[in-house]
Amino acid sequence: MNGTLMAKETREVSDTLVRQLNRNEKVIAQLVAKVGESRPSLIYMIGRGSSDHAGVFAKYLFETTLGIPVCHAALSLSSIYNKALHLENALVFVISQSGGSNDIIAQTEMAKQAGAIVVGLINNEDAELRHIVDFFIPLSAGPELAVAATKSYIAALSALIHIAAKLSDNVQLFDDLRTAPKRLKEELEQPSLITIDAFASLERCVVLGRGFGYAIAREMALKIKEVCAIQAEAFSSAEFSHGPFALLNNPLSILNVLIYDESKQSHEDRLAIIKSSGGELMSTLKTAPDLHPAVQCLVIMQRFYLDIESISLALGMNPDSPEGLKKVTKTI
Amino acid sequence: MNGTLMAKETREVSDTLVRQLNRNEKVIAQLVAKVGESRPSLIYMIGRGSSDHAGVFAKYLFETTLGIPVCHAALSLSSIYNKALHLENALVFVISQSGGSNDIIAQTEMAKQAGAIVVGLINNEDAELRHIVDFFIPLSAGPELAVAATKSYIAALSALIHIAAKLSDNVQLFDDLRTAPKRLKEELEQPSLITIDAFASLERCVVLGRGFGYAIAREMALKIKEVCAIQAEAFSSAEFSHGPFALLNNPLSILNVLIYDESKQSHEDRLAIIKSSGGELMSTLKTAPDLHPAVQCLVIMQRFYLDIESISLALGMNPDSPEGLKKVTKTI
């Protein structure tokens, strides 16, 4: 049993999800009723860092289940350029662990004033932000003390899945989500998928996925930066096959995210070409092929967080408080 | 005078813009009339690689000038997941040099069938794609033979500015755009802003900007990968101040993109903190403070392309055909 906060908090994800599913049932039913009346033509995601990456996941989730285009906030719009958007037909999600960053609050207030339906997926239940939004959906992850977000990110994903399942009336997706706490608990007993060997000699690294796999690859690349100080960048395997392919002219390690869904064949075909062109495969993260791809992401992320925490320690770093990082960074 | 195609094509940007401004006047007037009738509530950008990065620029441009939210296509949606979006109130831009990639065509056809107004900013005038779109806006850059896009990217930016200026009836922006060909020509005689010294000893590199500066930083990072095989990643200086800040625990070189607009102070404040935390500033790309920030981007990008071409040569590489890259990569 590992002693860092990062490992401890990651191991709390299963319990978080049980709590969250119970707590959010009523407010999500209210949200579904409101969306049914208003029929938004756009979903607009507000977030930074890991919460922004939860927004990338939301794009694949809502676009594939609801067919509503999903747009990400450029946070400078309100706080720097002092501009507003026409968001009167939008369903806006603000995702935040702390609920305290100025740019997030400014952009949320802009959306509210524009007449959008504003939903807050917020972990810190004391945050002022919860009083700005129309629907407050608590992430229910409890205090998150490690600088690197773990359980709050997975909790944001599960709350989004809950909402998507109810909005699209997708019973299978909701059933898969309800099995997630059990599957997450079982996964804790499974062996690591990423080993220190690959990281010890690593010079340059990319994280490759496709579709839902790309959505979570973004968060993995950030975490590798945060707790290992290694410059990892995420790409869809299709996008990587264009310009970034030139990186293969030098040694390049690849962390592969494999989702069992319609993207699998195309992704594996691309990966075979990348490997035959010199890309060195470090590890393939994959699990739970029987579950909806969105729910696979929850289990994969938990595995990844545990593995990268061990690697950070093995590299002699402190995953709980990477040098130079604060838990809550306020930017405008 | 430099002998590569990349340098030659970059030097053609000024003439491209003169041609483009004349050719596109009529079709853009027709587009403005159509948008005036339809009043789209969403702008949806389709592109890959450099064309996707032109879409990032479009987000800052259209959101600040029109107040219409701008959304980027997740290209797997049509080609992998076989899903469609509700885009009946959308103005869709597809940006493509070749007009030939399958995922781009699939996503454009989906948008067309969904009832969107579809505009094609396409360089290759023989492309089938021009017959799918409602409004064909030629980039007028002429054949682009170097693998790395240069003039076609800047031409996409200038066409977007032309459209934004007319849609928002912003006379100042249009006047600034009309002076761009002259300014671009003058810039050709200016000295380099990035020197080989910084690149020769470079281990890890990020490109930092804010707002419009971030928009073009994405394209710069791609080009550094393509023609120097160096892993450069772009961040907004605000986003970098969160998790990625941990990268400063190892040597990190910074290419700084400075735009003279509302973002300047906040960006410079962030950069000062990053430098005092160990970030090594390689160069600051800045120019033409009297022009609209969007038009500054055209001049900065031309300077950057010329500088990075020289550096690629100095590193012993061939900027015209980086190993492993093809001009047109077809992905699904």
- The CATH number of residue A302's host domain is 3.40.50.10490
According to DSSP, the β-strands at A232-236 and A117-122 are unpaired
The Cβ of residue B290 has, within 10 Å, a number of other Cβ atoms equal to: 10
CA distances to A93, A112, B41, B206 from A35, in Å: 13, 15, 18, 41
A157 and A200 belong to one structural domain:
no
A201 and A145 belong to one structural domain:
no
According to DSSP, the β-strands at A205-209 and A253-257 are parallel
B150 and B25 belong to one structural domain:
yes
Instruction: With respect to residue B207, please indicate whether it lies within any of the assigned structural domains.
Output: yes
Q: How many domains does chain A have?
A: 2
DSSP H helices in B277-326: 293-314
A269: contact with B, CB 8 A cutoff = no
Range 77-96 of A in CB contact (< 8 A) with B: 77, 80-87, 89-90
Instruction: With respect to residue B176, please indicate whether it lies within any of the assigned structural domains.
Output: no
CA trace torsion A318, A322, A324, A328 (10° rounding): -130
A164 and A301 belong to one structural domain:
no
B18 and B164 belong to one structural domain:
yes
A160 and A211 belong to one structural domain:
no
- Using an 8 Å CB-CB cutoff, list chain A residues near B206: 231
Chain centroid to CA A160: how far? 10
Q: Which two tokens stand for residue A119?
A: 């939903």
Instruction: With respect to residue A43, please indicate whether it lies within any of the assigned structural domains.
Output: yes
Instruction: With respect to residue B54, please indicate whether it lies within any of the assigned structural domains.
Output: yes
Nearest to residue B69, comparing CAs of A72, A63, A38? A72
What confidence score (pLDDT) does residue B1 get? 45
Q: Cα-flanking dihedrals φ and ψ of residue B232, to 5°? A: -105, 140
Instruction: With respect to residue A136, please indicate whether it lies within any of the assigned structural domains.
Output: yes
Nearest CA in chain B to A65: B83
Distance from CA of A125 to the nearest CA of B (A): 22
What confidence score (pLDDT) does residue B102 get? 86
Nearest CA in chain A to B274: A324
Q: Which two tokens stand for residue B204?
A: 């890890």
B133 and B256 belong to one structural domain:
no
- Using an 8 Å CB-CB cutoff, list chain B residues near A84: 67
CA distances to A212, A242, A265, A285 from A281, in Å: 20, 19, 17, 11
Residues 6+ apart with CB under 8 A from A247: A204, A206, B225, B229, B231
Burial per residue of B209-229, b for 16 or more beta-carbon CB atoms within 10 angstroms, e otherwise: bbbbbbbbbbbbbbbbbbbbb
The Cβ of residue B237 has, within 10 Å, a number of other Cβ atoms equal to: 28
Point out the domain boundary residue: B135, B169, B203. B169
Nearest CA in chain B to A62: B85
Model-level pTM? 0.95
What confidence score (pLDDT) does residue B197 get? 86
Q: Which two tokens stand for residue B84?
A: 């469609």
Instruction: With respect to residue A322, please indicate whether it lies within any of the assigned structural domains.
Output: no
B76: contact with A, CB 8 A cutoff = yes
CA distance A297 to A293: 6
Which residue has 């992998």 as its token pair? B80
Residue-range definition of the domain harbouring residue B11 = 5-169
B327: contact with A, CB 8 A cutoff = no
Instruction: With respect to residue A22, please indicate whether it lies within any of the assigned structural domains.
Output: yes
Q: Which two tokens stand for residue B163?
A: 């459209």
- Using an 8 Å CB-CB cutoff, list chain B residues near A50: 243
Helix axes A13-38, A171-187, angle to 10 degrees: 160
B142 and B89 belong to one structural domain:
yes
B135 and B275 belong to one structural domain:
no
Of all helices (H) and strands (E), which one includes residue A86?
none
What confidence score (pLDDT) does residue B199 get? 84
B115 and B75 belong to one structural domain:
yes
CA distance A16 to B34: 50
Q: Cα-flanking dihedrals φ and ψ of residue A192, to 5°? A: -60, 150
Q: Are B244 and B270 in contact (CB under 8 A)?
A: no
Point out the domain boundary residue: A107, A140, A169. A169
A18 and A105 belong to one structural domain:
yes
What average pLDDT values come out for chain B (332 residues) when binned by 10 residues? 86 98 98 96 96 97 98 93 96 95 92 98 96 97 94 98 98 98 97 88 90 97 94 94 89 96 96 95 94 98 97 92 70 68
DSSP state letters, A260-299: SSTTHHHHHHHHHHHHHTT-EEEEEE---TTS-HHHHHHH
- Using an 8 Å CB-CB cutoff, list chain B residues near A229: 246-247, 249-250
Distance from CA of B17 to the nearest CA of A (A): 25
Residues 6+ apart with CB under 8 A from A239: B48, B49, B52, B331
A153 and A209 belong to one structural domain:
no
Tell me A123's DSSP state: S
* CB atoms B49 and A241 under 8 Å: no
B332: contact with A, CB 8 A cutoff = yes
Nearest to residue A139, comparing CAs of A118, A129, A119, A125? A125
Instruction: With respect to residue B180, please indicate whether it lies within any of the assigned structural domains.
Output: no
Burial per residue of A57-69, b for 16 or more beta-carbon CB atoms within 10 angstroms, e otherwise: bbbbbbbbbbebb
Q: Flag residues of chain A having pLDDT under 50.
A: 1
- Using an 8 Å CB-CB cutoff, list chain B residues near A323: 246, 249
3-state secondary structure (DSSP) of residue A90: strand
Q: Pick A48's closest partner by Cβ from B67, B239, B266.
A: B239
Burial per residue of B175-194, b for 16 or more beta-carbon CB atoms within 10 angstroms, e otherwise: ebbeebbebbbebeeeeebb
Q: Cα-flanking dihedrals φ and ψ of residue B43, to 5°? A: -115, 135
CA distance B21 to B181: 10
CA distance A148 to A6: 7
Q: Are B40 and B118 in contact (CB under 8 A)?
A: no
A68: contact with B, CB 8 A cutoff = yes
Distance from CA of A242 to the nearest CA of B (A): 6
What confidence score (pLDDT) does residue A327 get? 64
Q: Are A78 and A107 in contact (CB under 8 A)?
A: yes
Tell me A150's DSSP state: -
A320: contact with B, CB 8 A cutoff = no
For chain B, helix, strand, coil in percent to 5 are: 50, 15, 35
Point out the domain boundary residue: A169, A201, A217. A169
Nearest to residue B235, comparing CAs of A331, A54, A84? A331
Q: What angle do CA B246, A249, B225 make, to 5 degrees?
A: 50
